C-alpha cells in the first residue's frame, strides 16, 4: 500500500538518507535539523549531531527553534564554548558534513543569506551568515536543503554569504579551500549534485510524480540533467512515521511554551 506524503516530507527524508552512522554533522536550524534528526531516529542512530551553540552529540526530542534552544544542551553529550566549537572542532577539520539552507542559491551552490539588491540599499535585508560561511568552508562536505522555486534558485546572487563552488570549475580550490564544498542540494522536487568538471548543479534524481518541465519552470537558470537520472525512492512508512512524530512533538511543545 502506497503512503501519501508532501513535497516537503519527501525533501526532508531524501536529505536524511544522505547521512550515515559515521557522520559528524554540523546542523542548521529548520529543514536541515529535521533531516538530521530523522536520520538519527531511523538508519543512523550513532550519528553525531553538533549545533552552532556548542552542543555535541545532542539528541533532541523536539526540533529546536534556534541554536540557543535549551533542548539542545539538555540532550547533548557535552556543551563547549562557541570559540572552541569553531576553532577546535570546525576549523580543526573534525566535522565531516555540514547541513545548510539559505534564502538564495545559484547554479554553483553559492548561498546568500545577507541581502537581495544593493548592499547599502537592499530590497530585502536577510538575517545574515551567522556561522554558515565557516561551516561552508571547513566541513568536509556540505549538503544543502531548499525548496525549489525561482525566488530561491536564482541566476545571479547579489551577495555571496557562504561559498559553494564560486565561479565553477576549480575556483574553490584556487582560493585555497581544501574541503569538498556542496556535494548535494536536496529540494522538494529533485536532487542536484555538482558536475565533476564544471561544478554546475545537475539534476541526478527526480522525486516521484515530478516532471522535468516542472523542475525547469521552478529554477532561475537553464537546468542541466545528468545523462542518467534516477527516480528518488518514495518515503517508507517508517520514515514518514518518524518525521511526523517528531514534528507533532515539536508543535505540541512549542504551543505549550
Active-site amino acid positions:
52
- Cα→Cα distances 48→19, 57, 58, 178, Å: 11, 5, 7, 23
Instruction: Encode 11-47: b = buried (16+ Cβ within 10 Å), e = exposed.
Output: bbbbbbbbbeeebbbbbbbbbbbbbbbbbbbbebeeb
User: Which regions of 146-248 does DSSP assign to beta strands (E)?
Assistant: 182-186, 190-194, 201-207, 224-232
DSSP result, 20-74:
-TT-EEEEPTTHHHHHHHHHHHTT-TT-EEEETTSEES---SS--SSTT-HHHHH
Listed as own residue / partner, the contacts of 208-214 with beta carbons closer than 8 Å and 24 or more positions apart are 208/10, 208/232, 208/234, 214/189
Distance CA 174, CA 159 (A): 20
- Cα→Cα distances 183→41, 42, 71, 106, 165, Å: 23, 22, 30, 14, 10
Strand partners, 225: 203
Distance CA 124, CA 174 (A): 31
Amino acid at each position: 500500500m502506497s503512503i501519501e506524503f508532501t513535497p516537503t516530507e519527501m525533501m526532508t527524508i531524501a536529505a536524511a538518507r544522505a547521512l550515515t552512522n559515521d557522520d559528524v554533522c554540523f546542523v542548521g536550524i529548520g529543514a536541515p535539523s529535521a533531516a538530521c534528526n530523522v536520520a538519527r531516529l531511523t538508519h543512523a542512530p550513532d550519528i553525531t549531531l553538533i549545533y552552532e551553540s556548542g552542543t555535541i552529540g545532542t539528541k533532541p526530542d523536539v526540533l529546536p527553534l534556534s541554536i540557543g534552544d535549551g533542548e539542545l544542551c539538555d540532550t547533548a553529550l557535552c556543551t563547549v564554548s562557541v570559540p572552541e566549537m569553531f576553532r577546535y572542532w570546525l576549523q580543526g577539520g573534525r566535522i565531516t558534513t555540514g547541513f545548510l539552507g539559505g534564502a538564495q542559491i545559484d547554479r554553483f551552490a553559492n548561498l546568500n543569506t545577507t541581502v537581495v539588491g544593493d548592499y547599502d540599499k537592499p530590497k530585502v535585508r536577510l538575517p545574515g551568515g551567522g556561522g554558515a560561511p565557516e561551516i561552508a568552508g571547513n566541513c568536509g562536505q556540505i549538503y544543502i536543503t531548499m525548496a525549489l522555486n525561482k525566488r530561491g534558485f536564482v541566476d545571479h546572487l547579489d551577495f555571496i554569504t557562504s561559498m559553494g563552488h564560486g565561479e565553477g570549475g576549480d575556483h574553490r580550490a584556487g582560493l585555497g579551500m581544501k574541503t569538498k564544498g556542496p556535494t548535494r542540494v536536496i529540494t522538494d522536487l529533485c536532487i542536484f549534485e555538482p558536475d565533476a568538471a564544471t561544478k554546475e548543479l545537475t539534476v541526478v534524481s527526480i522525486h516521484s510524480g515530478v516532471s522535468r518541465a516542472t523542475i525547469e519552470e521552478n529554477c532561475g537558470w537553464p537546468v542541466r540533467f545528468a545523462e542518467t537520472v534516477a527516480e528518488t525512492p518514495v518515503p517508507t512508512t517508517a520514515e514518514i512515521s518518524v518525521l511526523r512524530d517528531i514534528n507533532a512533538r515539536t508543535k505540541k511543545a512549542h504551543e505549550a511554551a
